[in-house]
Structure 1
Amino acid sequence: MNRYLATAVVIVSSAAVLVLEVAVTRLVAPYAGDTLETYTAAIGVALGAIALGAKLGGDAADRMHPPKLLGPLLVFGGGTTMLARPIVLGLGPALTGAGPITALLLVALSIALPVTLLSAVTPVVVKTQLADLDRAGGVVGRFSAWGTVGALAGTFLTGYVLIAALPISMVLLVTGIGLAVLGALLLLRGGLPRGRSVPAMAVVLLLGAGLLVSVRSPCDAETAYFCARVETDPERATGRVLLLDDLRHGYVDLADPAHLEFGYTRWFAASVDALAPKGPLDALHVGGGAYTMPRWLAADRRGSRSEVLEIDPAVTRLAEAELDLRPGPALRVRQGDARTAITASRDDGYDVVFGDAFGGLSVPWHLTTVEFATEVRRVLRTDGRYVANIIDRGPRDFLAAEVATLGRVFEHVAVIAPEESLDAPEGGNHVVVASDAPIPAGRLSDAVAAAGDPQGADKGALAGRGRVADWAERGTVLTDDHAPVDQLLTPYLS
């Protein structure tokens, strides 16, 4: 094998490994969440498979004629790459709910084999180039470097271009077919193997490609961040639920923008009604999702203006297509990460800031810190309020941390939670209200108590001052230097 072809084979196989590692986080997220555990599983499984592939490939190259190995490795690697998505979609529903184990199992079952096969390529290629042992170090170093170049190309191409431009199914299809074509060319160049190898390669390729294109995705849109879909509420003909990955992220009634289905959104509204001045308001929304609160504010406080910071343009397009979102002068949408986008918002420009951005069960860590809260305080008017949705369970360590963090920035902090679950381990949504202006506890408590639905569900209560003070005292103050949000959460309870 000539040097240039050998280099190309190493670059392509290494790039494909990283395409799989990045893409699998999006495949697994609908069943395990877009969490630190999912990313950890993807990195850990990929590293383990890379190590195993390098060992097995080196051993095989010593026992067999190396050029004969490369074609089958690439063809089988391409076929199993295309099987990754059908495996996740087939097993995901059954494995959902097992906590971090869900992510680990789905990642391992879907990409461990193709990553192992593709990682065996580099040591086999190196063996084909070792004509002079006096230059073995240079050969190994050169191909190690080219493998890293391929891995970098696969990482940046997938994360910056492919996932934003194509569905995951198409990314894996193109990758798998590309590997198979390269492998087939090497097979033709070096001679087809005897026995059952060729039929086996054909079966794996046909099975992978066939299942990849035929298995239906649960997503209405595979975005760069989420598997997003909209479902009709079976109890309400005009109700629509937005699901991002494995969680219900928003609800709107197409016929009634003032309808608030989720308890925490009613507590948002109660906080506004109890604490904000009457009449139209200027609001900043950290996270758009289903755009529930901008719709409610426009209906309840006519003349209000909302500005929404939404990181995922595909979610906004889905809301426009299926949730009756209509941006305009009274509803401005700014695409981008809220942490950077808020820096362009004007000082003292808003009466209320709504915090409702999530990645899985947790608020993205960089939206929980003192530094971000300081930006929120900057854009609020003197009597403005910050109301943020926090999901926590068990001992409420994350909630305590956020109370302590906001207490470092704002003069007053209050917490709203389901009346019967302030002490219950299952927890759920909590709304934290922070302000430099005093928070009239009686008025807010009455508004929250009256905000339950007609059947009495999701009845909220204002946490007592003693409890809030305890959270503030024991909570970890989150900063950009130290914000272990995922570790503080207690997402799974037995």
Structure 2
Amino acid sequence: MLTAYLLALAGAGGFSMMVLEVAAPRLLAPYFGSSNYTWTNVIGVILAALAAGYYAGGRLADRRPGLGPLVTVAILAAVLSAGVPWAVRALCPLLVPEAAAESSAVPLLVRASLFATLLLFAPPLFLMGAMSPMTVRLLSRAGGVGWASGACSASVTAGAIAGTFGTTLWLVPAIGSHRTVLLASLALLVIALPGLAGGSGPLARATGAVGTVFVAVSAAVPPGPVLPGPNVLYETETPYQYARVTRRGDALLLQTEGQRRGAQAVLREGSFLSGGLVFDHFLGLPWLSGWRPGERLDLLVLGYGVGAVGRQVEHFFGPFSDLRIDGVEIDPELVEIGERFFGLDRGDPHLSLQIADARQYNLVSKRTYRAIVLDVFSRARQVPSHLATREFFETVKDRLRHGGVFGMNVIVPIADGEALPRLLESVRASFGEVFVERIPGSLNMLILARRDLPLDLTGASARLRAQDASRMASEFEDLRRLLLAGWQRAAKWPGRPGFAPLTDDGTPFEHLLLRDSLVAWSRLP
């Protein structure tokens, strides 16, 4: 009977440990983003905490080899674990001031996430690590040490497997990261409490009583909003990211993890323009491809999101062309947000929307387009590394028709670092030439390239100036002024010796962004 109880407790510890490990980056993401460096901080701290716990638990098992100490450690682990989601919401906003939520502050976010992980996640994981050697010591009374070690490891691993798959595939989508951690803490507590009947001392019983009250209250209290505020209309935790809809003046904004001031999409009341943001500049791609009113326009939007760019294209080009928009979005919940708040209509006859990864779509699709938009960001402000390599841009080129134009939104902390030149060299290696346009008032840059033909900014500007605004959509005059000003700022990338294109097996783009962010950080006054 004791053996079965000990193995069940070991499995519950493994389950809680893995739930906390998987949920940690998601709990931290609204404040620090979920870059590879946040994940590295989480994994590194977890491994260090577990290693220290294994050692300390082994020492404690030799000094006090009883059930009472093990149960006390398990209850304390459950209590500390249950407090993590609440502590994250209380501490993390203090570590990331509102003014620090820009790409130039990435080093601050990395350090802050390391501090938060050490302070909040290390203590419960230290105790969960300590449970294993203490369990082995007790199990060895019923058999050899080898059997006890193997049985305990198998139980912990089985629990960890359940925590890994259960958290990602079921618990987080169903109840969110906050409640998932509380549920795992409650499970560990429920399995630990019967051990108090095995002759535990007053300290263990007092710990069990206090722990039961704390975990029960933590689980019963509604979590409330992650980032509360009077202008927050909606927030959710999707399978890929934290997302919220906020109102700023006359505009609705979609903001994802780590964003406080910027936005992934903007919908202004009474307007189809975003106020000069990069989304407006995407509307120049058809003109750069040589399109004229009345001609067919096939557009591919990689990173369709809530449909902000598609809505603009519908307004400015739909009535004046045979329009088809193919949208590709990996996160289905963003599409649902678009339908609810941003006017996305999946029944639009001009729109075909696919839930897929952008690179995967390019590889399997056989369609070709007059213009392709790439507006994909994982971790709020970083282009995924697999969408920033020469191999990927070759797939983009394959999807373009002769003379088709490609436009890519990218955010870089500094223009004279390593990330932007390497990215531009990657595009140039596929297309032959590349132009870059900085978007005023932001860190965004628009990268432009054309298949087979030179990008004729002068000719496109002349055609756009000659277009009769009275025969086009409302706000066309405003759009024309914006595009012409942008094309005047655009410059052809001359190349820079020593900067090789990015490749699938080379340095990840994200790593270059962090190095440039460190340089930007050092330049701050």
Which TM-score applies when normalising by structure 1?
Answer: 0.88
The change in CA–CA distance for 1:440 and 1:463 in structure 2 (over 3 A counts) is same
Q: Using the TM superposition, give the Cα deviation of residue 19 of structure 1 relative to its aligned residue in structure 2, in angstroms.
A: 0.9
Query: More displaced, 137-146 or 283-292?
Result: 137-146
Contact 1:254 1:324 survives alignment (8 Å)? no
Which of these residues, 235, 245, 250, is aligned with residue 220 of structure 1? 235
The letter of the residue matching 2:512 is L
Does residue 464 in structure 1 map to residue 491 in structure 2?
yes
Q: Using the TM superposition, give the Cα deviation of residue 17 of structure 1 relative to its aligned residue in structure 2, in angstroms.
A: 1.0
The change in CA–CA distance for 1:87 and 1:289 in structure 2 (over 3 A counts) is same
- The match for 2:195 is 186
Does residue 42 in structure 1 map to residue 58 in structure 2?
no
The change in CA–CA distance for 1:454 and 1:53 in structure 2 (over 3 A counts) is farther
The letter of the residue matching 1:79 is V
- The match for 2:114 is 104
The change in CA–CA distance for 1:141 and 1:453 in structure 2 (over 3 A counts) is farther
Matches of 1:52 and 1:246, distance apart in 2: 31
- The match for 1:315 is 334
Matches of 1:409 and 1:61, distance apart in 2: 62
Query: More displaced, 155-164 or 44-53?
Result: 155-164
Contact 1:76 1:204 survives alignment (8 Å)? no
Which of these residues, 506, 511, 517, is aligned with residue 482 of structure 1? 506
Contact 2:281 2:482 survives alignment (8 Å)? no
Matches of 1:46 and 1:444, distance apart in 2: 55
Q: Using the TM superposition, give the Cα deviation of residue 242 of structure 1 relative to its aligned residue in structure 2, in angstroms.
A: 0.2
Which of these residues, 393, 396, 401, is aligned with residue 422 of structure 2? 401
Q: Using the TM superposition, give the Cα deviation of residue 206 of structure 1 relative to its aligned residue in structure 2, in angstroms.
A: 4.7
Matches of 1:476 and 1:379, distance apart in 2: 24
Matches of 1:91 and 1:233, distance apart in 2: 25
Contact 2:306 2:339 survives alignment (8 Å)? no
Contact 1:413 1:433 survives alignment (8 Å)? yes
Contact 2:422 2:501 survives alignment (8 Å)? yes
Q: Secondary structure at the match of 2:202?
A: coil
Q: Using the TM superposition, give the Cα deviation of residue 196 of structure 1 relative to its aligned residue in structure 2, in angstroms.
A: 4.2
Deviations 1:101-128 (A, max 9, x none): 1211222222111111211111111010
Does residue 121 in structure 1 map to residue 136 in structure 2?
no
Does residue 197 in structure 1 map to residue 213 in structure 2?
no
5 Å-filtered alignment, 1:378-417, equals 378-394=398-414, 395-417=416-438
The change in CA–CA distance for 1:486 and 1:277 in structure 2 (over 3 A counts) is same
Deviations 1:17-67 (A, max 9, x none): 111111111111111112111111110111111112112211221222431
Does residue 240 in structure 1 map to residue 260 in structure 2?
no
Q: Secondary structure at the match of 2:495?
A: helix
Query: More displaced, 282-291 or 71-80?
Result: 71-80
Contact 1:418 1:461 survives alignment (8 Å)? no
The change in CA–CA distance for 1:401 and 1:444 in structure 2 (over 3 A counts) is farther
Contact 2:384 2:510 survives alignment (8 Å)? no
- The match for 2:165 is 156
The letter of the residue matching 2:392 is F
- The match for 2:182 is 173
Q: Using the TM superposition, give the Cα deviation of residue 192 of structure 1 relative to its aligned residue in structure 2, in angstroms.
A: 5.9
- The match for 1:287 is 303
Q: Using the TM superposition, give the Cα deviation of residue 442 of structure 1 relative to its aligned residue in structure 2, in angstroms.
A: 2.6
Matches of 1:374 and 1:180, distance apart in 2: 54
Contact 1:362 1:391 survives alignment (8 Å)? yes
Q: Using the TM superposition, give the Cα deviation of residue 312 of structure 1 relative to its aligned residue in structure 2, in angstroms.
A: 0.9
Contact 2:413 2:443 survives alignment (8 Å)? yes
The letter of the residue matching 2:495 is D
- The match for 1:29 is 29
The change in CA–CA distance for 1:155 and 1:453 in structure 2 (over 3 A counts) is farther
Deviations 1:241-275 (A, max 9, x none): 0001122211123543x212352122222333333
The letter of the residue matching 2:307 is Y
Matches of 1:124 and 1:173, distance apart in 2: 24
- The match for 2:351 is 331
The letter of the residue matching 2:11 is I
Q: Using the TM superposition, give the Cα deviation of residue 84 of structure 1 relative to its aligned residue in structure 2, in angstroms.
A: 1.2
Deviations 1:413-462 (A, max 9, x none): 1111146x9xxxxx7111111222210133467879x9789999x96753
Deviations 1:316-345 (A, max 9, x none): 111111112111221222112222233232
Matches of 1:138 and 1:198, distance apart in 2: 30
Deviations 1:460-481 (A, max 9, x none): 753433xx1234x443311111
Matches of 2:390 and 2:5, distance apart in 1: 53
Query: More displaced, 185-194 or 119-128?
Result: 185-194
Q: Using the TM superposition, give the Cα deviation of residue 305 of structure 1 relative to its aligned residue in structure 2, in angstroms.
A: 1.6
Matches of 1:76 and 1:462, distance apart in 2: 60
Which of these residues, 277, 292, 301, is aligned with residue 263 of structure 1? 277
Contact 1:72 1:201 survives alignment (8 Å)? no
Contact 1:417 1:430 survives alignment (8 Å)? yes
- The match for 2:62 is 62
Which of these residues, 241, 245, 260, is aligned with residue 230 of structure 1? 245
- The match for 1:17 is 17
- The match for 1:275 is 289
Task: Detail structure 1 runs of 4+ shifted over 4 Å in the superposition.
Answer: 189-192, 443-448, 450-456, 458-461
Q: Secondary structure at the match of 1:325?
A: coil
Task: Give me the CA root mean square deviation.
Answer: 2.7
- The match for 2:446 is 431
Contact 2:186 2:216 survives alignment (8 Å)? no
Matches of 1:202 and 1:227, distance apart in 2: 30
Does residue 357 in structure 1 map to residue 373 in structure 2?
no
The change in CA–CA distance for 1:231 and 1:454 in structure 2 (over 3 A counts) is farther
Deviations 1:350-391 (A, max 9, x none): 111111110132101111112211211111111111100011
Matches of 1:481 and 1:323, distance apart in 2: 38
Which TM-score applies when normalising by structure 2?
Answer: 0.84
Matches of 1:452 and 1:399, distance apart in 2: 27
The change in CA–CA distance for 1:377 and 1:455 in structure 2 (over 3 A counts) is closer
Matches of 1:444 and 1:17, distance apart in 2: 58
The letter of the residue matching 1:9 is L
- The match for 1:367 is 387
- Unaligned residue ranges in structure 1 (runs of 5+): 422-426
The letter of the residue matching 1:227 is Y
Query: More displaced, 260-269 or 372-381?
Result: 260-269
Q: Using the TM superposition, give the Cα deviation of residue 405 of structure 1 relative to its aligned residue in structure 2, in angstroms.
A: 0.7
